[in-house]
Structure 1
Amino acid sequence: MNDPRLLEVSVALCTYNGARFLREQVRSICLQTRPPVEIVLSDDASRDGSVEVVRAAVAECAAERPGPPIALRVFENPVALRVVKNFEQAISACTSELIALSDQDDVWMPDRLALMVAHFEQDANLMLLHTDARLVDSERRDLNQTLFHALEVTPLELTQVHSGKAFDALLRRNLVTGATTVFRRALLADALPLPVEWVHDEWLAIVASTTARVDLLEQPLIEYRQHESNQIGARRDTFKEKVRKALASRGNTHVERAIKAELLLERLLQLGDRVPPEIIAKVRSKIVHQRFRAALPPSRLARIVPIAREAMTGRYDKFGRGVRGVVRDLFESV
């Protein structure tokens, strides 16, 4: 790690009452074949000794592995900031050129950072990289499913991302899970402050995709633990669950999505000429689509004609799940 040509990595680790799993997670970070130079821990008012577990695990690894020690910097929030602002605090304090996001309950494959950093070293335009993950239960038993399978990532979406069109895929829906993500610190100049209306990982990814390249690796490089305390987890819906969602109340879903798109447009306009005009136009069109969906009438019968007209514009395919979105709009209750 003393070679100045090598990109150094900071790990932004956020915790909240995660002592149960933290030792395994921290050890998997510290014992990487290409270890980070620092871990920035932002603890969100834990009451279970999470910070002490992290300190002990870092010290334990330092005694086991050769080479320079991994620096540990700790922020202890007396009042919880919640997920988005807790991550904002952690990533803002990271000093390396690359930042890896870390949840408190996963396990990294030993060569995760080595494989991901190599891609950044080969491509100066790569701003953010994420990967698939192997889903495991609380005891790390394999659930025989990957994260991309749970998210139903399609061949079209994979092709878009790999071909430099990640923005089109991400404007449709988020594919990026923070626990699998590494990005350049330069992204923070455009992405901060993080809006609380967005999840931190989807915001970082879509902002990155407007001015640089976002890519993914289809190999699972972490064990993504699924358990009862997950704040954000991953599981593929069954057919019955999809039907139930299609018939459920729409609530404020589309209003919130319109607000998120408006916040994105506001930020991108602040970036000026660095954002291509066609991207701005797509975000404006997304706002029109979400406002349309938010304003649909209560009567299912009265929705048929306007939904058909909207479907003919192609916006259901460009900004949502296509036919699935049409069906949900036709059958959702108010």
Structure 2
Amino acid sequence: MLKQTLLPNEVVICDDGSTDGTIDLLYQYKATAPFEVHIFRNPVQLGFNKNFEQVLGRCTRDLVFICDQDDYWMPEKLEVMAAFMAENPDAQIAFNNAFVADDELNNLHELFWLRVRFDEEAQQQWKNGEAMEVLLDGPRMMGCATVIRHGFIPKLIPIPTDIPKYIYDGCISLVGAAYDAIRFVDKPLQLYRTHNSQQIGVRAAPVPPRTRLRDRFTRPRAEKLEPLVFKRMQMEKIRQFLAGRVPENSPAMQQLTRKLAHYTMRSTLSTNRLQRIYPVLRDLQRGLYHRYADAATDWYSPYLAAIGDLLE
């Protein structure tokens, strides 16, 4: 932070019950920093989601940069991102790319966005107004790469703790997408440290395992339904989180509703195979099996999924 070409106006810290000497270091930092440093200690441990919620509420300046990590920010990070927000007044949230590093901060020359499969195709889909659909496949934005306009924070909190695989930054990105107010900056402005002891962090996004056609006739039906039920319940939680925060008829909410309806159909198909024909062929004809197929799968995977829904 001290090496930034654009220094912050304030640094706000909420300590969530550390016991390793962190507080002493923070007060040493406060004594010499050329900007305001506000330190708060939680009387009881809140956990990282609620701690981030609290610290966001204590920030007072126009732009809030989340700094929750043991990574390294390039000296120009604050200046570049602040300039981007000034040039894009419609953006309420923005996030930058990063280089992945090892635990000694050695640059592995791997872009973070590729690790979370935020590739050119996903970026173009985002630019086309479908950020919500991209994020429903999994979080793409990490908190330590994020800047938020202060006036947008009331729309972000309270932050839920019960959406599977979405922690605070994933939830923040969903709200930004719901308002079509989240943008990305394709510049690696930090080194993202990876190590085994980090409390929260992002690992390489796994490609879903391929299900062979013959396996579809032998595996238990409950095994087939498990990921579909999980995805449906996850999106139901997301919908509950966004309800009342964003207009129900917004394009992003329509994207969520459409995908939720598809997974609800797939996870609740009748045990009578004849009764499955119409809903499966309807969504196949509408292109929904193709739209929601994993980008890393083969061209015929949507058809295999439809066949599985008809027969399994």
Partner residue in 1 for 2:17: 45
Q: 2:26 aligns with which of 47, 54, 57?
A: 54
Query: What is the rounded CA distance, in whole Å, between the counterparts of 2:134 and 2:20 in structure 1?
Result: 39
- Give the counterpart letter for 2:186 in structure 1: E
Change (3 A) 1:250 1:132: farther
- Residue 31 of structure 1 deviates from its aligned partner by 2.5
- Residue 217 of structure 1 deviates from its aligned partner by 1.3
Query: What is the rounded CA distance, in whole Å, between the counterparts of 2:77 and 2:260 in structure 1?
Result: 37
Q: Is the Cα contact below 8 Å between 1:147 and 1:234 reproduced in 2?
A: no
Please, what is the CA RMSD of the aligned residues? Answer: 3.5
Q: Is the Cα contact below 8 Å between 2:178 and 2:253 reproduced in 1?
A: no
Q: 2:178 aligns with which of 184, 193, 210?
A: 210
Q: Is 2:119 the partner of 1:154? A: yes
1:98-126 deviations in Å (ceiling 9; x for gaps): 11111231111101010001111112111
- Give the counterpart letter for 2:47 in structure 1: R
Q: Percent identity?
A: 27
Rg larger in 1 or in 2? 2
Q: 2:194 aligns with which of 190, 215, 226?
A: 226
Q: Is 2:59 the partner of 1:94? A: yes
Q: Tell me, which stretches of 5 or more residues in structure 1 are unaligned?
A: 1-28, 63-68
Change (3 A) 1:72 1:252: farther
Change (3 A) 1:236 1:286: same
- Give the counterpart letter for 2:171 in structure 1: W
Query: What is the rounded CA distance, in whole Å, between the counterparts of 2:278 and 2:130 in structure 1?
Result: 32
- Residue 46 of structure 1 deviates from its aligned partner by 1.3
Partner residue in 1 for 2:7: 35
Partner residue in 1 for 2:219: none
- Residue 289 of structure 1 deviates from its aligned partner by 3.2
Q: 1:132 aligns with which of 90, 97, 104?
A: 97
Q: Tell me, which stretches of 5 or more residues in structure 2 are unaligned?
A: 216-222
Q: What's the TM-score once normalised by structure 2's chain length?
A: 0.77
Which is further off, 258-267 or 138-147?
258-267
Q: Is 2:232 the partner of 1:258? A: yes
1:161-202 deviations in Å (ceiling 9; x for gaps): 345442332233321111111111222222211111231111
Q: Is 2:53 the partner of 1:81? A: no
SS in 1 for 2:123: helix
- Residue 292 of structure 1 deviates from its aligned partner by 4.4
Partner residue in 1 for 2:220: none
Q: Is the Cα contact below 8 Å between 2:103 and 2:194 reproduced in 1?
A: yes
Q: Is the Cα contact below 8 Å between 2:96 and 2:146 reproduced in 1?
A: yes
Change (3 A) 1:165 1:289: closer
Map 1:161-180 → 2, pairs under 5 A: 161-180=126-145
Q: Is 2:238 the partner of 1:270? A: no
